[in-house]
């Protein structure tokens, strides 16, 4: 460990003041449980941004989730103006794109638990895909109508023998690949440089995205949102897809041009899309995406439902805190 990054702290003489802005539910109780048990830590849990900013003057560290850019800017300004002791920020989310254009003091060390929830997000991505491929929304509607009708069978499909393009081979992308292979799917990965990755059958550079799209029946988006990847799936990219492609997005809503997505769904270029993310969130009830019959939407909850993942997040947070201040157990 770089000792320059270790704060001066004397266990048993002073308490670390840690603020937890708990705006989301994922991992919240597990984190609170573990940090509250530390004798050298005083944990302040804040439900709102205003409460968090109010608690900053005494804070040594801040635990938080990603947040919208406007909130991130307000928080960063408050850190500059009101948090002279703050030296550590720990994110409970893999992405922190809300802070992409935000400048924080150089003294603030950033850590995260990236990848802790990759397995459950990959499960959710596969669930969205299978829901589309097996036409489960039609079956559920017929069940609600108490109607036994096999007429939609001709529009069902299967994963076996298909080619899947996974755009973004971070930990979530790799977990998706691991779950897809047993279905008999050929996996292609897209990374920045196209370097070979054992989790997929073949890897392509981002510059060859359109070539990969033209070879694939399924497109899984798990790439980080950056200036380069904003609207990565634009009209040209969607036009490069095979007719009848399935698209799943568990990355960020802005990775996809939603107007172009709507057109691709209505034209049949895409056989279906499953999205756990949108722009904006919540997706307004007037958005034309809601009118697409071949769309499955979940409200950005792919990380939810896994106690194992939540324990990993909490344990990773505890480890990061201990390493930062060389607490017992580090």
| Whole-structure pTM value | 0.91
- Mean pLDDT, rounded, for 302-319: 95
Averaged pLDDT score across all residues of the chain: 94
Of 96, 162, 252, 312, catalytic = 252
Domain ranges of the chain: 3-117+307-325, 118-297
> What's the pLDDT score for residue 248?
99
Residue 228 has pLDDT above 50, yes or no: yes
> What's the pLDDT score for residue 8?
45
**Tokens 């897209």, residue?**
190
Distance between terminal CA atoms of the chain?
11
* CA–centroid distance for 168 within its chain: 12
Q: How confident is the model at residue 10 (pLDDT cuts 50, 70, 90)?
A: low
Residue 282: cis peptide before it, omega within 30 degrees of 0: yes
SS3 label, residue 40: coil
Domain 3-117+307-325 identical in fold to domain 118-297: yes
- Mean pLDDT, rounded, for 215-220: 99
DSSP conformational letter for 122: H
> What's the pLDDT score for residue 14?
78
Q: Return the exposure string of 69-94: e unless at least 16 CB atoms fall within 10 Å of the residue's CB, then b.
A: eebbbbbbebbeeebeebbbbbbbbb
Contacts 24+ apart (CB under 8 A), 282-291: 287/258, 288/262, 289/258, 289/261, 289/262, 289/265
- Residue-wise pLDDT for 89-123, tens only, equals 999 998 889 999 899 999 999 999 888 999 999 99
SS3 label, residue 200: coil
- Residue-wise pLDDT for 144-171, tens only, equals 999 999 999 999 999 999 999 999 999 9
Do residues 261 and 233 touch, judged by C-beta distance below 8 A? yes
Q: How confident is the model at residue 12 (pLDDT cuts 50, 70, 90)?
A: low
Q: How confident is the model at residue 11 (pLDDT cuts 50, 70, 90)?
A: low
Residue 2 has pLDDT above 50, yes or no: no
Do residues 73 and 99 touch, judged by C-beta distance below 8 A? no
Residue 304 appears among annotated catalytic residues: no
> What's the pLDDT score for residue 150?
96
Of 124, 174, 300, 312, catalytic = 300
Radius of gyration of the chain (CA): 22
Q: Work out the number of other CB atoms within 10 angstroms of the CB of residue 40.
A: 17
Residue 236 has pLDDT above 60, yes or no: yes
Domain 118-297: what homologous superfamily? NAD(P)-binding Rossmann-like Domain (3.40.50.720)
Question: CA-CA distance, 314 to 116, in Å (whole number)?
Answer: 9
- Mean pLDDT, rounded, for 172-199: 98
> What's the pLDDT score for residue 325?
86
> What's the pLDDT score for residue 86?
97
Bridge partners of residue 90, in order along the sequence:
63, 111
* CA–centroid distance for 226 within its chain: 13
Do residues 132 and 294 touch, judged by C-beta distance below 8 A? yes
Cα distances (Å, whole numbers) of residue 167 to 132, 241, 253, 324 = 19, 13, 14, 34
Residue 106 appears among annotated catalytic residues: no
- Mean pLDDT, rounded, for 7-26: 78
Triad 173, 228, 21: Cα angle to 5° = 65
Of 29, 81, 103, 281, catalytic = 281
Bridge partners of residue 205, in order along the sequence:
191
Domain 3-117+307-325: what homologous superfamily? NAD(P)-binding Rossmann-like Domain (3.40.50.720)
Residue 55 has pLDDT above 90, yes or no: yes
């Amino acid at each position: 460990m770089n000792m320059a990054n270790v704060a001066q702290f004397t266990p048993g003489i002073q308490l670390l003041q840690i603020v937890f802005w708990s705006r989301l539910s994922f991992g919240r109780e597990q984190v609170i449980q573990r940090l509250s048990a530390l004798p050298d830590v005083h944990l302040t849990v804040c439900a709102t941004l205003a409460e968090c900013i109010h608690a900053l003057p005494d804070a040594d560290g801040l635990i938080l989730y990603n947040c919208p850019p406007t909130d991130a800017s307000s928080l960063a300004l408050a850190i500059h103006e009101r948090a002279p002791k703050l030296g550590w920020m720990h994110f409970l989310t893999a992405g922190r794109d809300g802070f992409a254009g935000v400048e924080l003091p150089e003294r603030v060390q950033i850590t995260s638990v990236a990848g802790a929830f990759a397995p459950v997000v990959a499960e959710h991505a596969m669930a969205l895909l299978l829901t589309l491929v097996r036409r489960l929304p039609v079956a559920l509607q017929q069940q609600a109508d108490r109607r036994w009708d096999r007429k939609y069978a001709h529009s069902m499909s299967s994963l076996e023998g298909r080619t899947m393009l996974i755009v973004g081979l971070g930990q979530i992308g790799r977990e998706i690949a691991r779950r897809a292979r047993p279905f008999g799917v050929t996996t292609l990965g897209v990374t920045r440089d196209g370097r070979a990755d054992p989790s997929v059958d073949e890897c392509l550079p981002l510059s060859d995205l359109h070539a990969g799209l033209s070879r694939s029946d399924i497109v899984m988006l798990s790439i980080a949102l950056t200036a380069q990847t904003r609207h990565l799936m634009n009209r040209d990219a969607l036009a490069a897809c095979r007719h009848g492609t399935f698209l799943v997005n568990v990355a960020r809503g802005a990775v996809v041009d939603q107007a172009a997505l709507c057109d691709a769904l209505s034209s049949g270029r895409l056989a279906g899309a499953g999205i756990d993310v949108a722009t904006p969130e919540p997706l307004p009830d007037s958005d034309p995406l809601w009118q697409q019959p071949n769309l499955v939407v979940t409200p950005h909850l792919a990380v939810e439902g896994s106690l194992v993942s939540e324990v990993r997040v909490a344990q990773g947070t505890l480890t990061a805190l201990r390493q930062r201040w060389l607490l017992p157990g580090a």
